[in-house]
């Protein structure tokens, strides 16, 4: 029970990678709080873990709304206690609105940057001071290997997620003297509902360029997040871990 008595927050944790990470933390003894527009898929999976439902707060809300995020953290701290682990998982590409940059719209860029970068900064700002003062904390930020590969049709998403990498490194250096680690994970082709919304030609190109030759699972990413959140990773900070079957190598 490596996360016994730890409090973990997962943004966008209602399904996919976020839900897999929430279930991983719960299976290892943590108390978990999730903020997502739709928490039903996670709620249905909780029965597989003893007492998980009693240790998991699920709040339906928009992670891009500052007031919603503030109220969520107020509730987490009141009901579970100070946050030990933050997984800034929420984010998305332009999906069906994606396409060549020269044909893109600024309103789409702003949405992608808001949901994929600013949400991580906002949530981190809420918990970082407390982690610093308690001299313990783990922040894991969600980026993507598309930020490194520069996939066509994902210019706004790649820009936002490379911003996550820069944010991770800067915050890691700031908090390292206080016992707080900050790292980023960069999944590639992962079997999620959101990933399936990519245009077929984009998805096919990504899979074809993956040396492992298959699409990963949300649990593959959750395992890496769990490691970075554990005491075993206490000497790892400011790092970017690509989980993409070898598509891009740092």
8-state DSSP, 12: T
**Residue 101: pLDDT over 80:** yes
Q: What is the DSSP string of 103-119?
A: G--HHHHHHHHIIIIIH
**Residue 198: pLDDT over 80:** no
Helix (H) or strand (E) holding 143: none
Question: In this predicted structure, what is the pLDDT of residue 214?
Answer: 87
Unique residue bearing structure tokens 């820069």: 166
248, part of any domain: no
249, part of any domain: no
**Residue 190: strand pairing partners:** 216
Single out the catalytic residue among 157, 192, 229, 243: 157
pLDDT category, 250, cuts 50, 70, 90?
Answer: confident
Query: Quick check: is 157 catalytic?
Result: yes
90, part of any domain: yes
CA distance 211 to 189: 11
Q: What is the pLDDT of residues 46-69, one digit of tens each?
A: 988 989 999 999 999 999 999 999
CA distance 23 to 17: 10
**Residue 219: pLDDT over 90:** yes
Signed CA dihedral, 195, 198, 203, 205: sign only: negative
Residue 235 domain boundaries: 7-243
Question: In this predicted structure, what is the pLDDT of residue 151?
Answer: 83
Domain count, the chain: 1
In this prediction, residues 116-134 reach a mean pLDDT of 98
2, part of any domain: no
1, part of any domain: no
Antiparallel, parallel or unpaired: β 56-60 and 85-88 = unpaired
**Residue 80: pLDDT over 90:** yes
Burial of 111 (0-12, 13-18, 19+ CB in 10 A): middle
Residue 204 sits in a domain whose CATH number is 3.40.50.720
Give the range among 4-8, 81-85, 209-213 with minimum mean pLDDT. 209-213
Question: In this predicted structure, what is the pLDDT of residue 128?
Answer: 98
Query: Alpha-carbon Rg of the chain, whole angstroms?
Result: 17
Q: What is the pLDDT of residues 138-175, one digit of tens each?
A: 999 999 999 998 888 899 999 999 999 999 999 999 99
236, part of any domain: yes
Region of residue 29 (phi > 0: left; psi between -120 and 50: alpha; otherwise: beta): left
49, part of any domain: yes
Q: What is the pLDDT of residues 32-47, one digit of tens each?
A: 999 999 999 999 999 8
Could you tell me which residue, 68 or 215, shows the higher pLDDT? 68
Whether residue 6 contacts residue 22, with contact meaning beta carbons closer than 8 Å, is answered with: no
Signed CA dihedral, 60, 48, 3, 219: sign only: negative
Give the range among 96-105, 110-119, 230-239 with minimum mean pLDDT. 96-105
**Residue 234: pLDDT over 90:** yes
Question: In this predicted structure, what is the pLDDT of residue 200?
Answer: 82
């Amino acid at each position: 029970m490596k996360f016994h008595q730890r409090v973990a927050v997962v943004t966008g944790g209602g399904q996919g990678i976020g839900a897999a990470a929430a279930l991983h933390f719960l299976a290892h003894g943590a108390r978990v709080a999730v903020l997502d527009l739709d928490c039903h898929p996670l709620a249905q999976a909780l029965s597989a873990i003893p007492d998980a439902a009693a240790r998991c707060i699920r709040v339906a809300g928009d992670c891009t709304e500052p007031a919603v995020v503030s109220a969520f953290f107020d509730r987490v701290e009141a009901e579970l206690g100070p946050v030990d682990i933050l997984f800034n998982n929420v984010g998305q590409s332009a999906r069906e609105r994606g396409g060549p940059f020269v044909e893109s719209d600024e309103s789409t860029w702003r949405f992608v940057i808001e949901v994929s970068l600013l949400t991580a900064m906002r949530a981190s700002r809420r918990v970082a001071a407390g982690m610093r003062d308690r001299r313990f904390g783990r922040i894991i930020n969600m980026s993507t290997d598309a930020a490194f590969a520069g996939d066509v049709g994902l210019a706004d998403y790649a820009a936002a997620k490379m911003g996550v990498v820069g944010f991770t490194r800067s915050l890691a250096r700031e908090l390292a003297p206080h016992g707080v680690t900050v790292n980023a994970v960069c999944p590639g082709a992962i079997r999620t509902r959101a990933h399936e919304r990519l245009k077929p030609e984009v998805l096919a190109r990504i899979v074809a360029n993956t040396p492992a030759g298959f699409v990963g699972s949300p649990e593959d990413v959750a395992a890496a997040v769990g490691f970075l959140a554990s005491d075993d990773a206490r000497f790892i900070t400011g790092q970017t871990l690509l989980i993409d079957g070898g598509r891009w190598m740092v």
